[in-house]
Amino acid sequence: MVTRAYFARRFLALKLLRGALVAGALYDAALAALFLWRPHSVAAMLGLGAASSSTTAALVAVWLAMLAGLGVAAARDTRRYSAIVAALIGGRAAAALILATTAIAMGSHIPWPAAWSALLAVTLAATWWTQRG
């Protein structure tokens, strides 16, 4: 027999999942705006070394804006867009791993976007997994 506590936990996990998706979408949108506005500053903040061309920064901004839109769509209906949620989890985990590995290889500190991406990936994975059953 399913208890109320079970449904309460699932509802709380769903709220956390939606909140994490919206937070990630806001982060992606802000980073996209920064890439358009100050591409050299963002490249330095992420520890990317020499800043890339403005065309590359614009393409990254478009990608981030698309991810923000997908995150908002997935937050509205997590069951319907579960493949998007899974892709966002994998992408955030990969981004955190790449940023952290690059920082360690260069001998510098790990940038906060790597920590933020890792935190979002873990939060999304933990809350999304409870919704799968």
- Domain spans in the chain, listed from the N-terminal domain onward: 4-132
Only one residue has tokens 């991406």, namely: 117
CA–CA separation, 61 and 6 (whole Å) = 41
Mean pLDDT of 3-23: 86
Please report, for residues 2, 79, 97, 126, the alpha-carbon distance to residue 122 in angstroms, rounded to integers and kept in the order given: 27, 19, 13, 6
CA distance 45 to 38: 11
At position 9, the amino acid (one-letter code) is: R
The 10s digit of each residue's pLDDT in 39-84 is 888 777 776 665 567 777 888 889 899 999 999 999 999 888 888 9
Q: In 3-state terms, what secondary structure has residue 41?
A: helix
Segment 81-133, tens digit of pLDDT: 888 998 998 888 888 888 788 778 878 777 777 787 888 888 888 887 777 66
